[in-house]
Amino acid sequence: MFKQIVVGVDEHQGGRDAIALARQLLARDGDLTLAYVYAGDQRLYRSASPPQETSEHQHALKLLEKARNEAGGQAQLRWRACPSVGRGLHELCEMIEADLLVVGSSRRGLLGRVLIGDDTHAALHEAPCAVAIAPAGFAREPAAMQEVGVGYDRSPESERAVEVARELATEVGAQLSAFQAVSLPSGAFRADPSLVRDAIATLVNEARHRIAELGGVEPHVAYGHPAEELAAFSTSLDLLIVDARDYGPIGGLIHGSTSQQLARTARCPLLVLTRDTPVIAAPVAGEHEPEPTRAATEQSGS
């Protein structure tokens, strides 16, 4: 599970969904941080008039305390002024060395604002940690994690995703399955229909055999577009894990990638892994020292 989780919170349902998912992914000895990013420039707020600064801080603290009380658990609170929601969340993740950022998928909520922001591309391109996206309404019925699925295509990134999924599934006692979407070049459909059917059947059987060779993984294969088929696959899962490739965990969303479509269409929580980011690490004694009480509820970066 994850040791340091940052949850993006706002006034919408997406924040509550994100908190519910974060609690499922948090290690027993892990730390949860609720974060709120409001529009502004951190440098300007440092020189802002006391009444203006105090007003923003009070609003942030009130919102975060309400979210923590509704969640019914312990959590540290952090807020930050930033022109971009995505950039602000990434800066907070870097400050506390988070290994997971969790956001909600509501179009009106945090992720919706991140996706439609014009200045978020650079910040989202190289997130400092993995990103989990909670589906809309997840907080109302947070399902127990009984089956974990992972997207697989034989790439080194997907091989790593399988290992992360395997470790997580073992920790929660869930079944592990892997999915691959296969396809033929568009020109192949000019061939004899019977030959095309045979070629598709061969691709599916070969892919299923390769996944089965991973060991301890239930293989699933379908012919079609990866995003569409993965979304269909997600209806039977409690968590879907995919790799980020070269775009970063939500950077690919801006490019119209498979991850972007899954963020909007997946029927279960989605976990997107970053490159070279340790995601599920063994606990290290003293790795994360408790912060002073005041630091847990004061503006970060001040």
Amino acid 302: pLDDT:
39
Contacts for 224-228: CB closer than 8 Å, 24+ residues apart: 224/181, 224/183, 225/181, 225/183, 226/151, 226/153, 226/181, 226/258, 227/258, 227/261, 227/262, 227/265, 228/261, 228/265
pTM of the model: 0.82
Average pLDDT over the chain, rounded to an integer: 79
Query: 20-24, 60-64, 292-296: which range is least confident on average?
Result: 292-296
**Per residue in 102-119, pLDDT tens?**
988 766 666 666 655 533
Is residue 293 over pLDDT 80?
Answer: no
**Per residue in 274-290, pLDDT tens?**
765 554 544 433 333 33
**Per residue in 168-220, pLDDT tens?**
999 999 999 999 999 888 766 676 778 888 999 999 999 999 999 999 999 99
Q: State the average pLDDT over residues 64-82.
A: 90
Residue 127: name the closest of 295, 261, 249 by CA.
Answer: 249
**Per residue in 54-66, pLDDT tens?**
788 888 999 999 9
**Per residue in 117-170, pLDDT tens?**
533 333 345 678 898 989 888 998 888 899 999 999 998 889 999 999 999 999
DSSP track, 98-130 = -SEEEEE--TTSHHHHHHH-TT-HHHHHT-SSE
pLDDT band at 10 (very low <50, low <70, confident <90, very high): confident
Q: State the average pLDDT over residues 224-252.
A: 79
Amino acid 123: pLDDT:
35
| Distance between CA atoms of residues 9 and 79, nearest Å | 10
Quick check: 148 and 165 in contact, CB under 8 A?
A: yes
Amino acid 202: pLDDT:
95
User: What are the structural domains of the chain?
Assistant: 1-143+269-302 (3.40.50.620), 144-237 (3.40.50.620)
Amino acid 112: pLDDT:
63
pLDDT band at 94 (very low <50, low <70, confident <90, very high): very high
Amino acid 109: pLDDT:
65
Quick check: 80 and 42 in contact, CB under 8 A?
A: yes
Is residue 52 over pLDDT 90?
Answer: no
Structure tokens belonging to residue 97: 């060395």
* CB contact set of 51 (below 8 Å; sequence gap of 6+): none
Is residue 6 over pLDDT 90?
Answer: yes
